[in-house]
Amino acid sequence: MREIASISIIQFSIVYILLLVVLAVMKKAKINQTKLLFVASVRLTLQLTLAGFILTYIFENPHPIFILMYLTSMILFAIHRVLSKNKCMNRGFKIAVSLSLACSGLGIVIFFVTAVVGQSIFNPQYVIPLSGMIIGNAMTGVNLATKTFCESLSEKRQQMESLLNLGVTPQKILLPMVNQALETAMLPTLNSMLGMGIVSLPGMMTGQILSGTLPTTAILYQISIMIAICAVVCLSVFGSLYFGYKTLYNSRNQLFYL
């Protein structure tokens, strides 16, 4: 297999021309998000550059404490992103979301690295990139699910009050909204799985092929990671919603809004 082609700084800088194309389209369509495009581009560059230096140091000094610190920062950032985007959640709901993200994310990572890949959980070459994909998708799924659930609560407030007055229990009122939010969060992953290999070649598989890995090996990795992502999204969303919605009412069937 051929070695991956290196990219010089000059060649790399050329890619930013594409952002000028995006900017031109946004101006033409009168989309006032120029500042957001600039901030997102700068943050992308700085954050990934910083991550590159940190990962290089960790790979050269693969001490378990560095790996644990990196995993902890991943999980804490994922939890922070979800909670900051859904400020309507009460304290109990936030705890349910935090525990579900942490437990499901770590559980799937440990299972995948040790059982599927057959590597030590303290091997940074496998643990860190795989954790990023797994925990990142869990964060996106939970964020989408909680957003959908909060919007349903807001839109159906009057309907919920009417049902409560008729004697319907909070569980029967909230459970359909929970199931709908779970389905909404799962659909992007399921649709991605349906089109993979036909519509698109996913990032992990493409990266491995570019680095010289045999396509057959890259395919096995990609299938495995997609199943792991599907599982972590399902578990993290399920835990967040099914434990979270129970904090919205008490033993006397009194419903508390978020």
Each domain of the chain, given as residue ranges in start order, spans: 1-61, 64-248
64-248: which CATH architecture?
Up-down Bundle (1.20)
For 142-170, what is the mean pLDDT? 87
| pLDDT per position as a tens digit, 85-122 | 887 788 999 999 999 999 999 999 999 999 998 999 99
Measured CA to CA, the distance from residue 237 to residue 146 in angstroms comes to 8
| pLDDT per position as a tens digit, 183-206 | 999 999 998 888 776 655 566 666
Whether pTM exceeds 0.75: yes
User: What are the structure tokens assigned to 248, written together?
Assistant: 């919205």
| Spatial CB neighbours of 212, under 8 Å, sequence gap ≥ 6 | 1, 2, 3, 4
pLDDT at 200: 58
pLDDT at 208 over 70: no
